[in-house]
Structure 1
Amino acid sequence: MKNIAKRRLWKYLFWFGPFLLVAGLTAGLVSQKWGVIPLAFLIPGIVIIGFWLIWQTQRTNWWGRRSTQAGTNALVATLAVLAILGLINFIGTRYHLRTDLTDTQLFTLAPQSRELVQSLQKPAKVWVFDVNRNPQDLELLENYRRLSSKFKFEFVDPQARPGLADKFGVKDYGEVYLESENKRQLVQMVNQNERLSEIRLTNRLQQITSTTTAKVYLLQGHGERQLAAGEGAISQAVQALSDKNFTTSALNLAEKSAVPDDAAVVIVAGAKKALFDNEVKALQTYLNRGGNLLLAIDPNTDPKLNSLLQQWGVRLDNRLAVDVSNNVGIGPAVALVTEYGQHPITKDFGNGISLYPLARPLEVTPVPGVESTTLIVTKPYPSSWAESDLQSENLQFNQGSDRKGPLTLGVALKRKLSAKPQPQPTPTPNPSPLPSPTTQSKASPSPTPPLPPSPTTELSPTSTESRLVVLGNSDFATDGLFQQQLNGDVFLNSVTWLSQQDQQPLSIRPKEVKNRRINITGTQANLLALSSLVILPLIGLAGAAVLWWKRR
């Protein structure tokens, strides 16, 4: 009887061991601290289980039993499965694999957003002052946070934290602020009808993290596109430049003798009248000292920039680019482009679409010291060609006067400052009204050394090259067309590349969510409900009844 009592006592002591082990593990996992209390449970539990295993082995050869071996194999297999599942969950937590199957990549950040967040040098945090966490806003912010540990966000109830709300100047629910170090900016207001926008968040993030502000001047006074809202204006393009942390200002070279020294980029968009000689000379001097120029020149216009363009090997074709391949109802006078050159401006365009109404082709001739890259190319003939008869309503290719496609509508060029401007390779009988210093030195037979450059033509010590982008159209950047397809990206990426801010991401801007709702009348809604809930089930039942009757 005493032996039986001792065996029962050991049996009860064994169950006390697993109990202590589970209690110690629970205490450590819940408190996340493996201090005295968890160890006080774990160590006795492990000791008791160990003594029980030794006692069982000496008493009954417990390890040699067939049931013990089977139970051990089952326990090892269970632990292996749990370990594999734990490893899978660990890998899934550390490494995310997401696939966006929507046609517009609705749940995927645009390349510009990804590049900007991944290149963050300073911490940035988004504060959403709202009571509720909208799932759509939360998903967008999570997409940003996954890309960089420097990006964080937080939802705040203004009533629960009035001090923080007063610090940001919050006046109403739904205000979203972006903070980086000591800088704060209002991103937007969110509500039930307007959710957090990737475009606004990315633009504000680029503004607040940028250390410099580039100055962009837009030439005026020759019929160029006006900057304020109106017919044929480029107010949307100007606003987009401001969103990308550029400072824009009008420039009238008829009132100033030179381009301002703080000009990062000068834009000539759609000049209809000829520039004065001193204005052309001012632009040439600006390029010679390391400036950057964007020329968007429409057909049937002559701004008298040929002397400047010939130094870069660019010639404006007076014909009109015709595209008869598009079937979207925009007419053959609108070039629909899906092919782009290999350049930072167009690197992520793929086969996206950009539109150029009434565009003129360009001809590019190689010039020593100038590196040129084609940006925009039309389709090959017979889809496109350069039409010489601009008055004809029936556009047909004329072998004698027209030129076969593909046509170049845009080109990007750059030149090292050490390389002096060269004249056009093919000499012209009439000398240029404004010859470059290089041309003058070659034409003069005098053995006297050339004079040193004047202070206005000295090369900028902060620039290593000058850049030029020439486009045969300015309509693509006007209000209404600017937001169509890739038109805005062509303009913004060109200005960004010209500004020589290599840290700025060049890519497609984020895109707004498209409204794909189906608008139907009440009668159509009732008919749809009736057909899906009554008519279709009745047809199925009738078909089943017919089959049953035939097989009966």
Structure 2
Amino acid sequence: MEGRRFKQGINTGISIVIFLGILVIINLISNRHYKRFDLTEAKIYTLSDQSKKILKSLKENLFLYGFFKEESEMKPKVTRLFEEYKTSSKYVKYKFIDPDKNPLMAKQYDVRSYDTIVVEYKGKREKVYIPEEKYITKAILKLIKSGKKKVYFTKGHGEKSIEEYGIGGISSLKERLEDEQYQVKEVFLMREGIPSDCDILAICGPEIDFIESEIKEIKKYIEKGGRVLALIDPGDFPRLSNLFSQYGIKIGNDIVVDLASRRFLGDAMSPMIMDYPYHQITKNFNLACLFSWARSVEAKRKHSENINVNPIAQTSLASWAEKDIFSVRRGYVKYDPGTDKRGPISLGVACEMEIGKKEEKKKARIVVFGDSDFITNKFLNFSGNANLILNTFGWLGEEDILISIRKKERENQPLTLTEKQGKIIFFIPVVVIPSVLMIGGLSICIRRRLKY
């Protein structure tokens, strides 16, 4: 009997040792191959592609200093966020400092309030007062970029304004560009011409055509290796159309109709884009974009050999380019095989060309879209609209680290129930479960009384 108990004890001890050994091995493996899984729909606990891309560009150590009280409720959340940055780059280091216990460090980093984050890189520092990825990445980007590219938006032709905060303005786009360290200004070409420090010239939704002297100014700018973004809505713009035609871009005199969008959005004049031919702007791009009252923009069949034109956004097969614009404006649309072009229809193209002689070669870049509404305050935050236009600016300015999918804002997701579902959720915990417990308890009591 005692021998059997001894053997059982030995077996139990060996089992415990083996189990502990397995735990140690798993722990060692997990430390070397750390992996977390974010199961939220918006991936709110995972760094965005843009943040990861920016972190990959680090060449030296980047320090994140969190000045939080020891008992701060925000500290666990910030710790998780710092861990995400650390696991994304070997150069990221972080440390928490209690300003009350270490006032000298707080003074050294000029920290005057609790819950402040200091980002330090190559001796330069930026403070962050809102402990969220958007603001930390913005501070990192500010430290690693050597300078700010200047973007000039044309005005004087009814273009959408960067100072307009209504639904038809593009003030939100201006803010997003400034977040990505661009300087954003307006320019009146007829009076000022194109400034010498202009990195990207943007033409956003003009209502009237440019005059000949302005066209010559833009052409001269392109021939020097300039970068131009043009968003041209349906309408009559012969001079602008002719200018871009010289660079292999055909702006159609039509309006795009998409029946697939009518099925999902109830509006055939608002094409939803999900087809992105391969290009650096749309590489790994998997978000839907919504345009409104757009025209076709495509590559010309014949253009100069030194010009490379590629489509970057196309409509569905259920679309077509409607030539009868007058009928569309009256609310009547019908596909005419004789005149209309069947989809998919290109709504945007990117053009790159080499300018100058071999010794002084420069690259000029042009992107043209057949719609300007998708970048307005009304549409900018729809799915992939902001990412598409910001990636476009990134490509035009050769800011490769800015071409990515940005962090999706966290949204409230209310649970909407039908009347029947509400009743079920009420009755199960309030009526059914208590009733089952009561019946079970009564049955046990009755059995015991009958037994004794």
1:511 aligned partner: 408
1:116 equivalent in alignment to 2:54: yes
1:36 aligned partner: none
Q: How far did 1:409 drift?
A: 0.3
1:104 aligned partner: 42
Distance, in Å, in 1 between the alignment partners of 2:50 and 2:155 is 31
1:380 aligned partner: 317
1:531 equivalent in alignment to 2:434: no
1:147 aligned partner: 88
Q: How far did 1:532 drift?
A: 3.8
List aligned pairs for 1:308-327, cutoff 5 A.
308-326=243-261, 327=263
Distance, in Å, in 1 between the alignment partners of 2:257 and 2:359 is 41
Q: How far did 1:76 drift?
A: 9.4
List aligned pairs for 1:245-324, cutoff 5 A.
245-257=181-193, 259-302=194-237, 304-324=239-259
Give the SS at the match of 1:412: strand
Give the SS at the match of 2:199: strand
> Retained in 2: the 8 A contact 1:199–1:509?
no
% identity of equivalent residues: 27
List aligned pairs for 1:161-172, cutoff 5 A.
161-172=102-113
Which residue, 335, 355, 366 being the options, matches 2:271? 335
Distance, in Å, in 2 between the alignment partners of 1:330 and 1:112 is 33
2:29 aligned partner: 91
Letter in 2 for 1:228: E
> Retained in 1: the 8 A contact 2:215–2:240?
yes
> Retained in 2: the 8 A contact 1:356–1:473?
yes
Distance, in Å, in 2 between the alignment partners of 1:119 and 1:307 is 40
Letter in 1 for 2:430: V
List aligned pairs for 1:136-285, cutoff 5 A.
136-189=77-130, 196-231=131-166, 232-257=168-193, 259-285=194-220
Letter in 2 for 1:263: C
> Retained in 1: the 8 A contact 2:150–2:184?
yes
> Retained in 1: the 8 A contact 2:162–2:171?
yes
Give the SS at the match of 1:248: strand
> Retained in 2: the 8 A contact 1:386–1:404?
no
List aligned pairs for 1:35-54, cutoff 5 A.
none
Distance, in Å, in 2 between the alignment partners of 1:127 and 1:205 is 13
Q: How far did 1:99 drift?
A: 2.6
1:497 aligned partner: 395
Distance, in Å, in 2 between the alignment partners of 1:117 and 1:165 is 26
Q: How far did 1:127 drift?
A: 2.8
Larger radius of gyration: 1
Letter in 2 for 1:343: H
Q: How far did 1:385 drift?
A: 4.3
> Retained in 2: the 8 A contact 1:122–1:209?
no
> Retained in 2: the 8 A contact 1:271–1:303?
no
Distance, in Å, in 2 between the alignment partners of 1:179 and 1:460 is 40
Distance, in Å, in 2 between the alignment partners of 1:339 and 1:285 is 34
Distance 1:309 1:362, change over 3 A: same
Distance 1:460 1:280, change over 3 A: farther
> Retained in 2: the 8 A contact 1:217–1:251?
yes
Letter in 1 for 2:174: V
CA-to-partner distance for each residue in 1:51-100, whole Å, 9 max, x for gaps?
xxxxxxxxxxxxxxxxxxxx999999987766554333222101123332
Give the SS at the match of 1:390: helix
Distance 1:78 1:540, change over 3 A: closer
Give the SS at the match of 2:271: strand
CA-to-partner distance for each residue in 1:80-121, whole Å, 9 max, x for gaps?
766554333222101123332222223222111111112212
In structure 1, stretches of 5+ residues that fail to align are: 1-70, 190-195, 420-458
Deviates more, 1:271-280 or 1:405-414: 271-280
TM-score, normalised by the number of residues in structure 1: 0.70
> Retained in 1: the 8 A contact 2:249–2:309?
no
1:465 aligned partner: 363
Give the SS at the match of 1:325: helix
Distance, in Å, in 2 between the alignment partners of 1:347 and 1:361 is 22
Give the SS at the match of 2:265: coil
Q: CA RMSD in A?
A: 3.3
Distance, in Å, in 2 between the alignment partners of 1:308 and 1:220 is 18
Give the SS at the match of 2:291: strand
Give the SS at the match of 1:149: coil
Distance, in Å, in 1 between the alignment partners of 2:220 and 2:17 is 77
> Retained in 2: the 8 A contact 1:290–1:460?
no
Give the SS at the match of 1:535: helix
Q: How far did 1:387 drift?
A: 5.3
TM-score, normalised by the number of residues in structure 2: 0.84
